[in-house]
Structure 1
Amino acid sequence: TDEEAKWLKRAGCRMVLYGVESGNDEILKKIRKNTTKDEIRRGVRIAKKHGLDVLNCVMLGFYWDTRESVEDTIRFAFELNAEFTQVSAPTPLPGTDYYQLLDDNNCFLTKEWEQHDSVHHSSVELPYLTNADLNHYLCTFYRRYYRRPRYLWMMFWRMFKTWGNFSQSIRKFSVLFTK
C-alpha cells in the first residue's frame, strides 16, 4: 500500500523485492501465488512512486509453461521495468507437490542435485516446453532485459541521483556491454 511504502522509505529501506514468478495469470493460479498481474503492477508502481528500487524475481519453466506463457512472463518483466530483475527456473525440491508433479510425469532429466542449476539451465523436460527452449530463454533473458532502450534510459537518469548510483551504474554498463 501507499502507507507501507511511505514507512519503508522513511525507515531507510532502499529496495523492495517482489516474487513476480510469472506474467501469466493462469500460471499464477496454478502455482497458488494468490495474486494477479494487476496486483503486481500496482505494488511495483507504488514502490517506484515512493522512490524505492524494485528487484523482481521471475521464473521461467513451470510445468504448465508453453513458449507463449514464457514470452508472457518476459513481456511482463519488461513492462514492470524494475531496476533489477532476476530470472531462474523453478526448483523442484523433494517433498513438495511440485517435485511430485514433475516426478509423476517423468519430467526429470536427472535427479542428481549437483546437476541442477536453476539459474543457467534447467534439468527438466516439460510437456509443452523443451529443455533446449527453456535453457535458451534462461540464457538470453538478461541480455534481452538489460539491453532494452527503455531500461537503459531509466538507468541513465537514475545514475545522476547520487554519486553512488553513478559509479555503480558505470560498472554495470561496462559489464553489460563487454559480454
Structure 2
Amino acid sequence: MAERMAVTFTEMPLQALTDLVNGWGTLPREGDGRGDAPHRPVSDIAAHLGLPARVGAGLTPEALAHAADRLHPVFSAQNAEACARHLTRLLADSGVRPVVETGDGGALRAAWTVEDAEHALVATAAISLRQYLAAHGFARIGVCTAGNCADVYLDQSPGGRRRFCSVTCQNRIRVAAFRSRKAAAG
C-alpha cells in the first residue's frame, strides 16, 4: 500500500485508460480466458498511465485490478444517469480536487490533486472519463458487444457507432454471422 502523500496529476491518456480496465479488470480477463495474466508489466505502468513515478510503488497487481474493477461499471452502465452516478461516486471517494500549476515558461495549466497516493489511480482515470464524457457524451463509451468479451472502449470514430473493443472482435462477429447465413442458405 502506498504511503499517504499528496499527488498532483493531469488526465490519463485515453488509450492507457482502456488498457487499465481491459488489461487488469476481472470481467475482461475472465471474459476472454486471460484469467489472472495482465497484458502489461507492472514496472512501467505508472508512466503508461500518466502518473508520477513516485506513485508506481503502490501500483501493485491487486491495486490495478481493484481500480479497473471500480471503473468498469462506468462503461457498462445501462444509461447516462447511472454512468454519471457511478463516476461521481468515484470522484468523491478519491477526494480529487482541482488545482492550477505552472508549467514550462510559467504557463498555467489545470491539474488535479488527491491527498493520498492510494487514490491517484482511480482519481486520474475518473477525471479522464469525466472530461471525455463531458465532451463526447455517454453514447461514446461502452462494453464490447462480442459474445465472450467484456473489454471496454472509448468511441473516437467520426460516426460514433462503435460497438466492439477491437477489429478482432468485430471480425469474429462478422465471420460468425456470415457462416450462419451461409449455413441457413445451404
> Does the pair score TM above 0.5?
no
Name whichever structure is richer in helix by fraction: 2
- The TM-score bracket by the shorter chain reads under 0.3
Q: Which has the higher contact order (CA 8 A, sep 6+)?
A: 2
